[in-house]
């Protein structure tokens, strides 16, 4: 019987032996080496640390480890192995949506959640879906366009 926190991380069962109050963001980066999960503010205001928790978008900086017991955590590293990612990747590439890149892993996961909810989202739904992901480089237009392209090209995937 373990005192650790059992959860699934990018499809693999893992046990975290540290404090239940530790920040998920820190644990993902420092314990599991998943540096695709970025830290932009550590206050839940920028979305750079976005991950999927049981399929829902959350800011990993706002999650304590005890919360993820028994849950499914997916970071950009895990998501990047999926078919859906390939479609988003190609869409983002087509409009050169990645400028400095720091917001992008979070944006990609937010994109997934938008399309999972509605495979044919309106522009307003897209903008609302990424409203918690701050980007300083792009002005957001290219990212919105990328999600629209993915919706079109990824017919059937979502």
The C-alpha atoms of residue 34 and residue 38 are separated, in whole angstroms, by: 9
Report the 3 state secondary structure along 53-68: ECCEEEEHHHCEHHHH
| Residue 90 C-beta: closest distance to another protein, Å | 9
Among 7, 9, 27, 63, binds another protein (CB under 8 A): 63
Judge contact between 104 and 92, C-beta under 8 A: yes
**Tokens read off for 64:** 């304590």
Among 27, 115, 135, 151, binds another protein (CB under 8 A): 135
The CB density around residue 21, as the number of other CB atoms within 10 Å, is 8
Tell me if 83 contacts another protein by CB under 8 A: no
Beta strands 72-74; 5-9: pairing state: parallel
- Of the candidate spans 7-15, 45-53, 149-157, the one that interacts with another protein by CB under 8 A turns out to be 45-53
Tell me if 130 contacts another protein by CB under 8 A: yes
Q: Could you give the string, one character per residue 5-44, with x where binding to another protein holds by CB under 8 A and - elsewhere?
A: x-----------xxxxx-x-----xx--xxxxxxxxxxxx
Among 9, 10, 105, 121, binds another protein (CB under 8 A): 105
């Amino acid at each position: 019987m373990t005192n650790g926190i059992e959860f699934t991380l990018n499809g693999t069962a893992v046990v975290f032996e540290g404090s239940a109050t530790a920040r998920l963001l820190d644990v993902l980066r420092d314990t599991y080496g998943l540096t695709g999960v970025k830290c932009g503010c550590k206050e839940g205001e920028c979305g750079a640390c976005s991950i999927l928790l049981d399929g829902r978008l959350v800011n990993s900086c706002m999650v304590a480890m005890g919360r993820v017991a028994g849950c499914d955590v997916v970071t950009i590293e895990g998501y990047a192995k999926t078919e859906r990612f390939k479609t988003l990747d190609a869409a983002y590439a087509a409009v050169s949506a990645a400028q400095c890149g720091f917001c992008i892993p979070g944006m990609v996961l937010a994109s997934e959640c938008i399309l999972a909810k509605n495979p044919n989202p309106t522009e307003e739904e897209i903008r609302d879906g990424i409203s918690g992901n701050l980007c300083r480089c792009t002005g957001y237009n290219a990212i919105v366009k990328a999600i629209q392209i993915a919706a079109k090209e990824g017919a059937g995937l979502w």
